[in-house]
Amino acid sequence: MPNHNTESDADLSKLEADGPDGTASGPGGIPDDSATEVQPAPSEPTGGTAAGAEAPLADSGAEDGAGLATAAPAAAGLEAGDAAALALQKKRRRLVIGLVVLAVLVIAAGALFVRYLLQPSPLPELLPLPVDLTYRPHYLFSIYGVDKPVGVAVSPDGERVYATESGGQRDVKVFDRDGNPLAAFSPPHTAPTERSPVYVAVDPTGRVYVTDRLQRAVFVYDSHGKLLDAILAPDLTLREYVYEHVDELPPDGTVAYNLFGHTVRFQIYAGEQLLPAPALVAWAPLGIRIDELGTVFLTDVPEGQHTVRELPGEQMLETDWREFNPPEIVFGAQGQGSGEFMYPNSAVIDSTGRIYVTDGNNGRVSVWDGLGGFLFNFAHGVGESALSLPRGAAMDGRDRLHVVDAVQQSVKVYDVSGEEPSFLFAFGDWGTEDGEFNYPVDIALDGTGRLYIADRENNRIQVWSY
């Protein structure tokens, strides 16, 4: 929710009126200090000398008054001219500054336009926002044509969206970023009632991993849906199993697996052959996430043994799994105490190497170090930050953890960049309209600020954006 800060600025002004109070002395009489009266000469008219003596004094005073009266308007005019010139100079300066700023903005806009033409990118990439800016994403549109989706993932380039169906044909549907359908695929030689795809993830090379609860396997496809291999146990792949029985199987030979058919199919040259399915082990893959290095985080939920498995990217990115035995880190146990899980769904990693596990039926997030050591739990209990039934999770580049809460019909976002996680916000509510959820399950993020959310009971993938 945006902050509305209202600031009030007080305008202070001071009125100064300064006017000099001057008085001009007119040509008044000069006091006569004489003690005796001077008698005029008999030959001159009486008072002539007195009149002649005072006339120059009277004329001098009049000239002084006239000079002062003339100088005052001249000074006032000079001051007014200076003030007008100063105001004009300030106006010109402001105009120049405004033109410079406008020129800079025009150049920046032009550079941005050229940058977009040369390398089109979404606005968040073209105009990076301050790292401390936090706001909710907004709804864009929905992708339809998928039946009760439960898992969603995005290709590394952001151009393909993968969604798993828990209804209908139970396929993996493929769409472009605009929601146009591209393809659909499923494990070969399986019927819809024999498969149940759940979570999906894409590795850095574009390979697609799909967990299947009924088949108890992780199927691995290329980006177009061709089955490449399947992980049948923590230390066994489908190709490895076939290779143990048929030495001449080529690396790109066709293989297929169906737990309910108790068969493994493979094709050598022109003929297809069958093998009995391998013996079952305590193995029930549920959630899967893959980081940018190819490290696979797999939640495993066989009865009584709920754990998280971390498989190193160096081995997982290999193209030939005929000798599959990656050194893995396994942590957690089934239960409700610290360091225990009840149906962990997703495990994701932050920039410091800490691992965050959505502990589904315990209603919390469990935090572990990179070696599988338990650290703490959070987001349990009551309140806005608390979770009820956390399912899918995703971490963005700013260490913001996004968790889908299937019961609260929302996505909750936490800042985990510090020592202690802090709740930021939640978005979404129950409903069938745009931007509303009806049992959301999973979430995926791309590199452009988009969020893809599997909205199961509304039969759609919602697309949001920061």
One pLDDT digit (tens) per residue for the chain, 466 residues: 444 443 444 333 333 334 434 434 343 333 343 333 334 444 444 443 433 333 343 344 444 444 444 445 555 555 667 777 777 888 888 888 888 888 888 898 888 777 767 766 555 555 554 445 678 999 999 999 999 999 999 999 999 999 999 999 999 999 999 999 999 999 999 999 999 999 999 999 999 999 999 999 999 999 999 999 999 999 999 999 998 988 776 666 789 999 999 999 988 766 788 999 999 999 999 999 999 999 999 999 999 999 999 999 999 999 999 899 999 999 999 999 999 999 999 999 999 999 999 999 999 999 999 999 999 999 999 999 999 999 999 999 999 999 999 999 999 999 999 999 999 999 999 999 999 999 999 999 999 999 999 999 999 999 999 9
Q: In the prediction, which pLDDT does 270 show?
A: 65
Type and span of the H or E element at 53: helix 48-118
Contacts of 388 (CB under 8 A, 6+ apart): 363, 405, 406, 407, 408
* Distance in angstroms (rounded) separating the CA atoms of residues 257 and 274: 10
Contact 208, 153 (CB under 8 A): yes
Q: In the prediction, which pLDDT does 35 show?
A: 36
Q: What are phi and psi of 322, to 5 degrees?
A: -75, -10
Type and span of the H or E element at 71: helix 48-118
Contact 299, 287 (CB under 8 A): yes
Q: In the prediction, which pLDDT does 312 show?
A: 97
Q: In the prediction, which pLDDT does 128 show?
A: 54
Strand-pair category, 340-341 with 333-334:
parallel
Residue corresponding to tokens 């006239």: 66
CA R_g for the chain: 43
Residue 94 exposed, middle or buried by CB count within 10 Å (0-12, 13-18, 19+) = exposed
424 token code pair: 């930021």
Contacts of 272 (CB under 8 A, 6+ apart): 254, 265, 266
Tell me the pTM. 0.73
185-217 pLDDT, tens digit each: 999 999 999 999 999 999 999 999 999 999 999
Q: In the prediction, which pLDDT does 44 show?
A: 41
Q: In the prediction, which pLDDT does 11 show?
A: 38
* Distance in angstroms (rounded) separating the CA atoms of residues 366 and 354: 10
244 token code pair: 């143990």
* Distance in angstroms (rounded) separating the CA atoms of residues 220 and 302: 21
Instruction: Identify the CA nearest to 138 among candidates 151, 123, 153, 148.
Output: 123
